[in-house]
Amino acid sequence: MADAFPGQALRDFAAAELAAAGDALARTGDDLHEGVHRARKSIRRTRAVLVLGDRLLGPGFELVDAQLRRLNDSLSPLRDAHALVETLQRLLDARVAAKTRDALLRALAEAVAARALETEQALVLDPGLRQRQALLRVLGAALVALDWTRLTPSSLRMAVADSDGRALRARKHVLRRGGEADWHRWRRRVRRAGQQRNALLAAGIALAQADAFDKRTAERLGNAQDLSLLIDHCGPDSPFSKRECEQLLRYARPALQRLRRRLEVAALD
């Protein structure tokens, strides 16, 4: 039944993700950081479903999608501050030299302080993130009102095949040029292709296997993003001292190079 009439199932999936995003933003205290992370994931999943329908959903599609993008972008500073803390914590769990561990510990303390400041500033402008929660409720109602009846199994399979193709083309660009923008584009497109396939499977729509991505590739791209984030935070506006940045970069740059090389080799297989 879901395969014959997929629109309702996808509508319910996307609406549930937006509701989950609102619940996540209602978290308080230390749970707020994880709440922001979960909210952004849910919003990205919703946008991935919307893109599957694209203009078949009617003229409201672009408005809802654009507002969700802006909302997610507004949460980026909070998420980036927390992501840096998480990255440093994960690196501390790995086997690293004593000097590197000392630098990571100092950097972690400074990152936690920077995260607290970022959170305080965000909550001053939007106490309890209630404005964002209210916007999510409005967008949830608008999303449900879109014309989901126009979606068909064939149109959705074509849409996800297009996303798989974008991920494959992004991979080819990385293998040809390997610039930072190319790596980030590949990661985003692999993530979206995976989100769309998961949504369709949840809606009961059978899909053919694709070589555009796999879980290991997605995980490695995420780990590479962690290292890129750490490197970016060792730039001119770094919260870390010059000495700490030097020690962190001595670890992060070769680690990123090794990880990307493994991804390149796997992509050539």
| Tens-digit pLDDT profile for residues 136-182 | 999 999 999 999 999 998 889 889 889 989 999 999 999 888 889 99
Cβ proximity of 263 and 217 under 8 Å = yes
Nearest to residue 81, comparing CAs of 108, 106, 105, 41?
108
Distance of CA 30 to the CA centre of its chain: 21
Residues 6+ away with beta carbon under 8 Å from 31: none
Q: Is the pLDDT of residue 207 over 80?
A: no
Over the chain, what is the mean pLDDT? 89
C-alpha–C-alpha distance, residues 23 and 209, integer Å? 34
C-alpha–C-alpha distance, residues 63 and 3, integer Å? 27
| The model's pTM | 0.89
Other beta carbons less than 10 A from residue 102's beta carbon: 13
Q: Is the pLDDT of residue 214 over 80?
A: no
- Token readout for 233 is 């935070």
Q: What is the pLDDT of residue 248?
A: 86
C-alpha–C-alpha distance, residues 260 and 238, integer Å? 24
| pLDDT one-digit tens code per residue, 20-40 | 999 999 999 989 999 999 999
Q: What is the pLDDT of residue 208?
A: 66
Q: What is the pLDDT of residue 242?
A: 87
| pLDDT one-digit tens code per residue, 83-101 | 899 988 988 887 777 888 8
The percent helix, strand, coil of the chain (3-state, each to 5) is 80, 0, 20
Cβ proximity of 156 and 50 under 8 Å = no
Q: What is the pLDDT of residue 71?
A: 97
CB pairs under 8 A, 24+ apart, for 20-23?
A: 21/46, 21/136, 22/133, 22/136, 22/137, 22/140
Q: What is the pLDDT of residue 1?
A: 43
Residue 213 binned pLDDT confidence (cut-offs 50, 70, 90) = low
